[in-house]
Structure 1
């Protein structure tokens, strides 16, 4: 039987002599990377703090060597391999002075035959020597000719995560490392090289077609025993061949469903290779049965982009996902699970893995399978023109085949997309004049990748790009056709202009805010702390980001008096912008079939578009997502006559109810009441006209009652122009174990009431935010924090600024 042994111990790291910091044989962690090893050795400061990143650019311009030693296995074997699940990026692998091979792609797995180089009578010395990523990428750029990139970096000339070279939300920490597992594997006669399970449904029967590839040490027959759940099939791989296709059928298969549509049954899958009755090797995984299709057939309006799972259209409540840490090896399963559960708690049903990062880990996809989260995975091309010459074309094909095979078992994975914004870039970002006749990636997106997806997988739809309108004859970001990205709002316009669009599917849109207070205080030590203090600006990577934040504040909110105001107001503005966009896009259902917010998560502490900051703390935006992604919502939307009330029912049951709302003046006095009867089918939307007499006068506002769905509001003036009374309220604080409840009773209107317990305890959490209360209404916040619960002083601070805030305070 084959045996696998990790080689994670005893590694050391050395750098090029003459580097700014002398590194010679320091302990190294595998999996890991250079930055984490230097940090652990005390040779560099934390790159996430203040502007420490600035001083670490030399790391990406230095060659690095990892070394270890190991003893050969004592058992007998026909084959012995060194398997790397991830090498970042350009490396030469040497054993006992013999070069085993070279690598140039962090996004694929590598295997090296150790026969002929392995010693059985003495320790074996293994060396992985990495070429500086900048040296390799710049040499390829010089050889092939430069190509456009949204960032002045050579990341499109190396098969490495693009965001390693910095992004408008991330640091430049381009380094090197053995970033995923490494193993020593021994085998006899034959080993299983690859299994690609293609799961499908034939009526009620689950069908799994297993494409099995072997590596053989002898020209002999090898048997295969394939099992899905309790059902088996067998086959023989005859001498002289190495592949077989085996079908296993599962009668009355239970369907895997998205998390908000049903259960997620998973079937254990196993393949065993045998010869002469002896088990040689095995493979195992899990599969799920569901159908998936992407309906993009043109209609009378243009071209839809409707995702259907098990024959039912899913309105995509999505978030864009970036690597959850800038130093990827620090991302473990518990961290991923925390993030995905936060997404689910916010009502998310779809995660798009963005093309400037990585093909996510088995842990990520296993968790999505278990949790019922749908996933769209981009191929790894983003915001740049990519050369199609060798060695890149071969690397891209090998990378695609490897990851298509690796991720094939996962029912959560429902779409593959060719790239992020590169088709758009070719049209609108002056690429054509810069490129001339040089390649830029079109051959990947329109030819190579769809061919490989069909050949290796064949069970999931492929779309050439995000955005893409379905044909090369149309502009790729045409709003009536398939998927769009909406960035004119953040870059140039007020967020109310989301309503200028009428998209079929929104794959990206976003609005910035700084992270939570506790995260800000960890990431910067500026004193005094100001929006434009040096380290705060270093952690703002977006072009003119501070000016765009200020433009939003000037349009909507009262003048900022201090940093506390700036932090709270910008976070509220972010939440309002995204909530307005999502409510509007959902009101267009079914014409519009989904919205994917940029972005769920951060990879370090930074001012960004994320709902959850780099220290894992939710911003107010996360609470807003939980409201607007609710199964049932009502929203006030402008109409030619004034304002309509739109009700959206994304549940499986009809929604028959009476919706009540009030017309109020700025003091919270009710000036009128109205009731609207509605009957809405499952997965449907209704536009409910409001009688003219119920519409608010200038300076008044509309608000729905305290129903079993999130409260809807409509304001005729911006907060900066509303004649709000200064916030007044009564409060009561009580302790129950580690929880502290804070009950607020409004004496005036309280606009976007938030409680920020992380100002008192960095580990504290709160259960709600962004509440608008009328006089006499009560709301209770639950704060979870052992420190706050134990301290009378901290509990007293829960009801004072800057912990408790309202826009009109």
Structure 2
């Protein structure tokens, strides 16, 4: 029997588009005879259509908010149909045959319009000038943030992308950026409600749907089990199905993200209602003591990044746009992505993929920094509707775990000196909690990001935006001293892309004035995030970054890439160690919004940067960490987040840079599923050894410590390094070598070093990327690096930051 999908049909045109002066055309009839229409994909944006037509420049984006933008198409049919508009950016009128049928003032609301069709009709969408609307008189807020301009944006329900100087290009989001679909009357279920929960190991599936022409019983199917849905009102069927022993949904690092198909059968037809996952999300401690999540009763260290759209111009929402980026997040061991309040709600395909791949999602409301007019009835109603639609749309998404009231609203007001009575976002929090209790009671609600302490940005409470290590130029030790409970933002740097990406962008010389245009900065600040990166270059390698930039720009960029990788790994080693109070850290930012050295750990073309490789090592589910405990020596922390036990060999070696061994210990370890183990260097060695050079009884006996966790067959699971006297990046002979070999999954690169090699980095001549990069090699050690997405026999170069030459392969 065929299974029928319960989705609407896309209304994909063909569509055409034209840009006009604001108010030039009061209705669609005025468009007749105008020249300048271009093809326009729907869903899509006006900027995307202009780009496809060769009328768009990334270097000088065409302003669109100051104009009106019209879309039109022909629609044909007979009978009653419903058009659904998933997202219209931002001030939009919908016209059918010259009659105004809908006016929308929010790009975050979906709308439905019922039509009586009788043959061919003309459908037109008028996107009115947002700039004109923002310029009219508005009531001013109690504060005006530096983040975005103009201040009247507090009244608009539109993305802040394009309005944040220093953060992203001024690209105007205009158009039907989410799907437009059509649905005929009758025949398929509508008003579908799905709810999945777990109680004492039993999955509970609650379903409601409307099917007025159902002939006979409506039977619910899931996981090979069935239940008949009672008719609770005419054409409305509701019921529940208990599923003892159901396979649960897990983050991909902790288990399998199992989902289960849900169908209903009625009158000989079977309808697909989608897939659901069964899991619990719980807060392990009071929010004031810090956000800390458990999934299915198991604590999960939430690590990942703050999400950015796949393409700022076209704002695509299809699987093809999301999947490569989300798979990179999975490969990096990320467990959570946060969709922050400065961005936009992502489409259903994003959430479906996160469900499928096992990535937790923190979803903010699209509110950030402004004093929003929640006391205005119209604004409040629109926001309540927005929240309800969001939670209804994601009602069956197991990956959704946290919903937040927005970004840096409380922080903005508090930093301007307002008292708590002003900066607490009580109204929005109450709205969000009420809606979540009704529609998604399984979710954790966060008032705002950051929030929770005496000041909303206190690091040791609630959730914080931690930039101590980073923008505030604090030493690595501050990551522990700050007692961060959960960093919903952290570690922002102007991350330098790999050389191939810089060549593609025409940005190879950091002395070129064009280079500075791609450096992110906070509006009004007299510093930028390249200066933040440079600070750690100087601190780690003992060089003058400004002088190095002038004298040797290539090495300046190399040390910049290496420095951010070191900072990322060192910070997360502190946060993931046994005994840490930190339960999560989300890096700012996932992907660049423009070419150049942006915040992203992935560049604008989707290529990983050095920071991504560092996070991939820092986020390993089976992990080995080293922390400097001063007079107590080094501590080795072993983590196993997986469901399988790990039997391994642990080796801790202290050597000089040339490879002379000062001390060494090795022992077999068994890590139970979802367990941790901490061992001091003294316990491993069985004697005193000044592992951190803290006692200063004489010249240091070693330059580095290397911790390696490997399986009994020699496969390295994880390793970590400690440099008691710092990182000496001075060029020397390291005996670096590289050769292509046949690996289990194809060609791989074996990289070895006779002496210590610092921040070894690979560059392929053509397409492809290594599985790891910007890693250290201990003296006399080697690594086997898989090569992904290569064509033919790859070639390229291998270098070390402290190496004196280049190795070709």
Q: 1:63 aligns with which of 65, 68, 75?
A: 68
Alignment of 1:320-399 (within 5 A): 320-388=306-374, 389-399=376-386
Distance 1:221 1:680 in 2: 57
Question: Deviations for 1:695-718, whole angstroms, at most 9, x for unmatched residues?
Answer: 245582222357433222111333
Tell me if 1:228 matches 2:222. Answer: yes
What is the match of residue 441 of structure 2?
458
What is the match of residue 136 of structure 1?
133
Distance 2:194 2:205 in 1: 6
Alignment of 1:172-183 (within 5 A): 172-183=170-181
Change over 3 Å in CA distance of 1:327–1:738 after alignment to 2:
farther
Question: Deviations for 1:602-656, whole angstroms, at most 9, x for unmatched residues?
Answer: 3443322322211111112222122221223333322241632231323346667
What is the match of residue 548 of structure 1?
532
Q: Give the match's secondary structure for 1:420.
A: coil
Alignment of 1:37-48 (within 5 A): 37-45=49-57, 47=58
Change over 3 Å in CA distance of 1:748–1:685 after alignment to 2:
closer
8 A contact 2:230–2:239 mirrored in 1: yes
Change over 3 Å in CA distance of 1:429–1:717 after alignment to 2:
farther
Distance 1:344 1:408 in 2: 23
Distance 2:162 2:89 in 1: 11
Distance 2:364 2:278 in 1: 22
Tell me if 1:206 matches 2:203. Answer: yes
Q: Give the match's secondary structure for 2:689.
A: helix
Alignment of 1:259-338 (within 5 A): 259-270=252-263, 284-297=273-286, 303-338=289-324
Distance 1:628 1:736 in 2: 24
Tell me if 1:36 matches 2:36. Answer: no
Alignment of 1:455-604 (within 5 A): 455-469=438-452, 474-496=454-476, 497-512=478-493, 513-523=495-505, 525=506, 529-543=508-522, 544-557=528-541, 558=543, 560=548, 561-589=551-579, 591-604=581-594
Distance 1:599 1:479 in 2: 19
Distance 2:409 2:141 in 1: 19
8 A contact 1:667–1:724 mirrored in 2: no
What is the match of residue 88 of structure 1?
89
Q: Give the match's secondary structure for 1:553.
A: helix
Change over 3 Å in CA distance of 1:653–1:270 after alignment to 2:
closer
Change over 3 Å in CA distance of 1:777–1:736 after alignment to 2:
closer
What is the match of residue 717 of structure 1?
725
What is the match of residue 659 of structure 2?
668
Change over 3 Å in CA distance of 1:5–1:647 after alignment to 2:
closer
Question: Deviations for 1:344-382, whole angstroms, at most 9, x for unmatched residues?
Answer: 111122222222222222222222222222222222222
Q: Give the match's secondary structure for 1:99.
A: strand
What is the match of residue 162 of structure 1?
160
After TM superposition, give the deviation of residue 479 of structure 1 in Å. Answer: 2.9
Distance 1:740 1:657 in 2: 26
Distance 2:644 2:415 in 1: 44
8 A contact 2:650–2:709 mirrored in 1: no
TM-score when normalising by structure 1: 0.85
What is the match of residue 704 of structure 1?
707
After TM superposition, give the deviation of residue 38 of structure 1 in Å. Answer: 1.0
Using the TM superposition, name which of 513-522 and 703-712 deviates more: 703-712
8 A contact 1:104–1:159 mirrored in 2: yes
What is the match of residue 424 of structure 1?
411
Alignment of 1:77-116 (within 5 A): 77=79, 79-115=80-116
What is the match of residue 30 of structure 2?
none
Question: Deviations for 1:467-517, whole angstroms, at most 9, x for unmatched residues?
Answer: 222x7xx32233332322211332221451323321222222113212222
Q: Give the match's secondary structure for 1:177.
A: coil
Question: Deviations for 1:532-573, whole angstroms, at most 9, x for unmatched residues?
Answer: 422221111224122222222222224534332122211111
8 A contact 1:212–1:243 mirrored in 2: yes
Distance 2:724 2:143 in 1: 52
Alignment of 1:141-156 (within 5 A): 141=138, 147-154=144-151, 155-156=153-154
Change over 3 Å in CA distance of 1:23–1:745 after alignment to 2:
farther
8 A contact 1:319–1:350 mirrored in 2: yes
Using the TM superposition, name which of 724-733 and 748-757 deviates more: 724-733
After TM superposition, give the deviation of residue 586 of structure 1 in Å. Answer: 0.7
Q: Give the match's secondary structure for 1:171.
A: coil
8 A contact 2:575–2:581 mirrored in 1: no
Structure 2 gaps, min length 5: 25-33, 523-527, 694-698, 711-715, 805-809
Distance 2:296 2:461 in 1: 24
Change over 3 Å in CA distance of 1:655–1:235 after alignment to 2:
closer
Distance 1:19 1:769 in 2: 54
After TM superposition, give the deviation of residue 110 of structure 1 in Å. Answer: 0.8
Distance 2:628 2:7 in 1: 66
Distance 1:222 1:787 in 2: 57
Change over 3 Å in CA distance of 1:328–1:159 after alignment to 2:
farther
What is the match of residue 31 of structure 2?
none
8 A contact 1:666–1:724 mirrored in 2: no
After TM superposition, give the deviation of residue 750 of structure 1 in Å. Answer: 1.2
Question: Deviations for 1:393-440, whole angstroms, at most 9, x for unmatched residues?
Answer: 11111111111011011112122122222222222244669xx98xx8
Change over 3 Å in CA distance of 1:499–1:89 after alignment to 2:
same
Distance 2:294 2:377 in 1: 38
After TM superposition, give the deviation of residue 149 of structure 1 in Å. Answer: 4.8
Change over 3 Å in CA distance of 1:225–1:495 after alignment to 2:
farther
Tell me if 1:683 matches 2:675. Answer: yes
Distance 1:715 1:466 in 2: 35
After TM superposition, give the deviation of residue 588 of structure 1 in Å. Answer: 4.7
Structure 1 gaps, min length 5: none
Alignment of 1:240-255 (within 5 A): 245-255=238-248
Alignment of 1:750-769 (within 5 A): 750-757=757-764, 760-761=765-766, 763-769=767-773
Q: 2:123 aligns with which of 121, 126, 133?
A: 126
After TM superposition, give the deviation of residue 9 of structure 1 in Å. Answer: 1.6
RMSD: 3.4
Question: Deviations for 1:105-125, whole angstroms, at most 9, x for unmatched residues?
Answer: 22221111223xx4x25x311
What is the match of residue 605 of structure 2?
615
Q: Give the match's secondary structure for 1:135.
A: helix
TM-score when normalising by structure 2: 0.85
Distance 2:128 2:140 in 1: 17
What is the match of residue 13 of structure 1?
17
After TM superposition, give the deviation of residue 689 of structure 1 in Å. Answer: 4.6
8 A contact 1:637–1:645 mirrored in 2: yes
What is the match of residue 636 of structure 2?
646
After TM superposition, give the deviation of residue 675 of structure 1 in Å. Answer: 4.8
After TM superposition, give the deviation of residue 86 of structure 1 in Å. Answer: 1.4
Question: Deviations for 1:436-460, whole angstroms, at most 9, x for unmatched residues?
Answer: 98xx882443211111111122222
After TM superposition, give the deviation of residue 384 of structure 1 in Å. Answer: 3.0
What is the match of residue 186 of structure 1?
184
Q: Give the match's secondary structure for 1:330.
A: coil
Using the TM superposition, name which of 619-628 and 636-645 deviates more: 636-645
Change over 3 Å in CA distance of 1:222–1:172 after alignment to 2:
farther
